[in-house]
Structure 1
Amino acid sequence: MERISYTDVPQEIFTNLMAIENYLDNSTLDLHLLELIRLRVAQKNGCAYCVDMHHKILKKHNETDLRLSSLCVWEETNYFSEKERAVLKFTDALTRLERQPISDSVFNPLLEHFTKAEIAQLTLAISQINTWTRLMKTFGFTPGNFRIDQN
């Protein structure tokens, strides 16, 4: 049930969050990889609105049904590249923050695939979708309403 409608949210919130989205989408990071991160965080946080949105975007970008349905159990599959696996492991760790630093076993594999600047961008991307999921869960936006032509 929607608690706060889109029109009730101060538009500066969306404007500033979208500026970060635009920065990330135009970074050196692969857009498909960013969408995998976004869907994975939405799954981890139980945000039905964001799961719907990022599933639809990934489908538009020709992601396979097998990989989409397996993302929630990515560690048990062989459908994701080593680069994607490193990012998904980092995504899971950063989304499920514990009272200790991100371990070297999570961080170091990223260095095989990304520059330090890109790791900083990945960290921002993961933090950003965590922000979005928390907003959507609080506002109660109705899942299923996202239309791909909005993107």
Structure 2
Amino acid sequence: MEQRLDLAKTDPEAYQAMLGLEKYIAKSGLDKSLYELIKTRASQINGCAYCINMHTRDAMKMGETAQRLFLLDAWRETKLFTQKERAVLALTEAMTSIAGKPVSDEIYMEAKVHLTEKELAAVIMAIVAINGWNRIAITLEKPLD
């Protein structure tokens, strides 16, 4: 697979806009390990090999276990994830698969129980960001590093 377009070179302003969202998330105080779980789970749902590869490696460098990453797509079936992580993963899945079905009150309220309003805002923006990156990488056929 050959990359179709290099967005950063072709339109640096568009690329910088996405990086601006990443800078906000980095400054938001969102737990970096939680962000890696968000990025990995959304990327799994979207089928973005480039992003799955990147974010599982990044998560492991930060101390995430291989077992939790291997079981991330079956998180509901394990006790390996905290209640906060479970609420965020449910929200990640709902927002990533939003076509035809809105995020339920139950999922939203569960996230709200485990997150401050500022954390919830950061989580929502983190989910938006990774879904954007997934769509860019998949559309442009970004090759694995």
**Structure 2 counterpart of 1:50, one-letter code:** C
Tell me how far apart the structure 1 counterparts of residues 6 and 21 of structure 2 sit (CA, whole Å).
22
Tell me how far apart the structure 2 counterparts of residues 5 and 98 of structure 1 sit (CA, whole Å).
28
* 4+ residue runs over 6 A deviation: none
By how many angstroms is 1:106 displaced? 0.3
| 1:21 is the counterpart of 2:15 | no
Quickly say closer, same or farther: Cα 1:77–1:57, change in 2 above 3 A: same
Per the alignment, residue 148 of structure 1 pairs with none
Query: 1:1-151 to 2 correspondence within 5 Å?
Result: 1=1, 2-5=3-6, 8-143=9-144, 145=145
Q: Scaled by the length of structure 2, what TM-score is found? A: 0.93
Whether the aligned pair in 1 keeps the contact of 2:7 and 2:14 (CA below 8 Å) is no
**Structure 2 counterpart of 1:121, one-letter code:** A
Q: How many pairs were matched up?
A: 144
Gaps of 5+ in 2: none
Q: Scaled by the length of structure 1, what TM-score is found? A: 0.90
Tell me how far apart the structure 2 counterparts of residues 19 and 68 of structure 1 sit (CA, whole Å).
27
Aligned-residue CA RMSD in angstroms? 1.3
Q: Structure 1 vs Structure 2: percent identity of aligned residues?
A: 38
**Structure 2 counterpart of 1:55, one-letter code:** T
CA deviations on 1:14-72 (whole Å, 9 max, x unpaired) are 21111110110121211110111001111000000000110110011011010010111
